[in-house]
Structure 1
């Protein structure tokens, strides 16, 4: 029987965060640099006259925090057969 790899989960990491880990969690989920997510978020906030900034506390509240015993991200590839 083949073992399926764990599915991606949108979570706020405990180690790689600036404020609450929202941008870092989004970056890990979409496999992009969290700095790029932060820049896009800042530009969107300016272009929408601050309306996009309301999304941050909502995501902070809705995204669960990563458990302390979670594997390092990205998870190492499965080994052997």
Structure 2
């Protein structure tokens, strides 16, 4: 027995199994990473074409879109590489893959500049002890305030989180 989800692809409602959903989401995210950030129209056109392919293969809305149907739609649409290279940020690096870790200043967990929050995120710990250690080092001469300012200037800020209207909470 497989779990199914109700999703909207190109403004059309579909019931899709969990494996097919993950495959389609990965494909669309890969394409989205290759298109210009402000190019929502192209992404919408791609989703509408995929929805048309699904409607050709799935004649009844009661049927479930499976992995084979998603594979066929992907084959007809083309590989993500055909949509261009991955976007790069100002430093010339591509967006991080899910397994990669980068030291960045936190946007969400910050008291002054997000340095301690970013260090805590990098090491996967709570930011409170990092802040306390930093404060104690600054107060008792182990760390100069200038080092904190330099870190503020050198460590890049984390990218703004993407808002995906199609994302489902689980």
TM over 0.5: yes
**Equivalence map 1:9-20=2 (5 Å):** 9-20=102-113
Q: Which has the higher contact order (CA 8 A, sep 6+)?
A: 1
Which structure is higher in strand share? 2
Q: Tell me, yes or no, if structure 1 residue 39 matches structure 2 residue 142.
A: no
Distance, in Å, in 1 between the alignment partners of 2:135 and 2:109 is 18
Match status 1:59 vs 2:151: yes
Larger relative helix fraction = 2
TM-score (norm 1): 0.70
Distance in 2, matches of 1:20 and 1:12, equals: 7
Q: Highest CA radius of gyration, 1 or 2? A: 2
Provide the alpha-carbon RMSD of the alignment.
1.9
- Map of 2:39 onto structure 1: none
Correspondence for 2:38: none
Unaligned runs of 5+ residues in structure 2 are 1-96, 163-170
Query: TM-score of the superposition, structure 2-length normalised?
Result: 0.36
Instruction: Tell me which stretches of 4 or more aligned residues in structure 1 moved more than 4 Å.
Output: none
- Mapped partners of 2:102, 2:153: distance in 1: 16
d(CA) in 2 for partners of 1:47, 1:68:
35
Deviations 1:12-71 (A, max 9, x none): 12111111100000011112211111100111112217x42221111110111111136x
